[in-house]
Amino acid sequence: MKIRRPKSLFFTFIVLLQWICVSHASAQTIKHSSLIAKENRPSSSDVRLIYQEYTISHTLEGIHLLKDKQKPLSLLNLVEVPEGVNVEYTSVDPDIAQVLSNRDIKGVAAGETKLRLRVYKKVQKRVNDQLVEVEEDILTKECPVYVYDLSFEPMDYYGHLYPESALIRLRFRIETPKRKALPGAELTMDADFNGINLTYNNPAIKDITLLKIDPSGEKTPLNECILSKNADIANESILIIFDSFESGIYEVIVSVNITPEGNLTMREYLSYVKAPGGPGTITVNSTFHTLGFNVPLGKDGAGGIPIPVGLSPLIR
């Protein structure tokens, strides 16, 4: 009687990856084919092909973040991930950027790192005559991550308000990764006159100056970095659009025309100037809009800075 040996349970996995570009420039299709053999010498009936096809999108130019801000992960966002396929995101340097719950990435400090994506599946393989579960990589990819820091710089003097004009000063610090500049930003400055019967005149903007301040305190004008400036008188708001910023300390000085609103008398105005406890103030709330984030820049969470009411030098 011939004794038949049991068939081997050796499994062979051959992974073929093919990148096929589809209509969108940032989307690609992966066709993942696994050839599974049930025996060492499979017959045609023992072999079957499994095709798994899904779409990924990627950000080739990198991910730009602000410190303490986060974005959804969009480096490689797998759509309709097949069952058994795992996706793992990690940050090469968590001190620069952190991955949160494998879904979001958060800026920690100014600098540059990389986001690493790994797509894998768990398979059974024979090791030393034992079947063990191992992780088989389908795809690995890295994307640069740039983190910028934008913060408010306190000052002793933020400007003044007169019946015919006002001066507003805002100072802020920007830190960027090496050899990088913060992409173009918009600054919105919204005035709250706190019940004082004053408003912007037309035209509202007299002058806007951008200065860069070096460590010695010397100031360099950078007005060429101001791309546009507009005033919304009805909403008492000013919008300034800037070009890119390198690392450094900057100051924006805004001079505006003011006019009385309603029946503001000099007696009433003087009551604000000589109010008990010190002059009254208006509040200017400043917000930077950059990289898809809104960042209040001021002494409070709304980006507010106080502008004291004063007597104009024109009043004798």
In a 3-state reduction of DSSP, which class is residue 65? strand
Residue 6 within a domain: no
Residue 214 has pLDDT above 60, yes or no: yes
Domain identity same for 144 and 162? no
Q: Comparing 230 with 266, which gets the higher pLDDT?
A: 230
Give the Å distances, CA to CA, from 149 to 65, 189, 288, 296: 9, 20, 12, 13
Residue 50 lies in a domain: yes
pLDDT band at 28 (very low <50, low <70, confident <90, very high): very low
Residue 264 falls inside a structural domain: yes
Q: Is residue 254 part of a domain?
A: yes
Do residues 261 and 175 make contact, with C-beta atoms less than 8 angstroms apart?
no
In the predicted model, what is the mean pLDDT of residues 190-194?
93
CB 266 within 8 A of CB 145: no
- Do 34 and 101 lie in one domain? The reply is yes
Average pLDDT, the chain: 81
* 25, part of any domain: yes
Cα–Cα–Cα angle for 233, 162, 302, rounded to 5 degrees: 55
Out of 11-15, 119-123, 192-196, 269-273, least confident range: 11-15
Domain final residue, candidates 118, 148, 178: 148
For residues 158 and 140, membership in a common domain is answered with no
How confident is the model at residue 282, as a pLDDT? 93
- pLDDT value, residue 79: 58
**Residues, the chain:** 316
Are residues 141 and 212 part of one domain?
no
Domain co-membership, 110 together with 223? no
**Residue 315 falls within a domain, yes or no?**
no
**For the domain that residue 119 is a member of, what is the CATH number?**
2.60.40.10
Give yes or no: residues 32 and 127 share one domain. yes
For 142-170, b/e burial (b = at least 16 CB within 10 A) is ebbbbbbbbebeeeeebbbbbbebbbbbb
Q: Which amino acid is at 283?
A: T
**Residue 3, in any domain of the structure:** no
Let me know if 237 is exposed, middle or buried by CB neighbors in 10 A (0-12, 13-18, 19+): middle
119 is a domain residue: yes
Q: What's the pLDDT score for residue 3?
A: 44
Q: What is the pLDDT of residue 119?
A: 83
Report the alpha-carbon distance of residue 55 to residue 59 in Å, rounded. 14
Q: What is the largest CA-CA distance in the chain?
A: 126
Mean pLDDT of 279-295: 94
Query: Which residues on adjacent β-strands are paired with residue 211?
Result: 221, 251
Residues 174 and 245 in one domain: yes
Mean pLDDT of 148-161: 95
Are residue 161 and residue 277 in the same domain, yes or no? yes
Domain end position, chosen among 122, 148, 174: 148
15 has a pLDDT exceeding 50? no
Highest mean pLDDT range out of 5-19, 36-50, 270-284, 295-309? Answer: 295-309
Q: Do 304 and 158 share a structural domain? A: yes
Predicted confidence (pLDDT) per residue in 103-122, tens digit: 999 999 999 999 998 888 88
Q: Which residues does residue 135 pair with via DSSP β-bridges, in sequence order?
A: 122
The residue from 127, 148, 169 where one domain ends is 148
Mean per-residue pLDDT, 156-185 = 94
Tokens at 208, concatenated: 């806007």
Residue 136: which domain range?
A: 12-148
Q: Can you give the pLDDT at residue 266?
A: 85
Number of domains in the chain: 2
Q: Say yes or no: 163 and 91 in one domain.
A: no
pLDDT of residue 80: 60
From residue 235, how far is each of 43, 74, 231, 269 by CA, in Å?
79, 36, 9, 22
Q: 36 with 177, same domain?
A: no
Torsion of CA 222, 225, 227, 232, to 10 degrees: -60
One-character DSSP codes across 128-182: TTEEEEEEEEEEEEEEEEEEEEEEE---S--EEE-SSEEEEEEEEEEE--TT--B
Q: What are φ and ψ of residue 41, in 5° steps?
A: -120, 80
Q: Are residues 86 and 103 located together in one domain of the fold?
A: yes
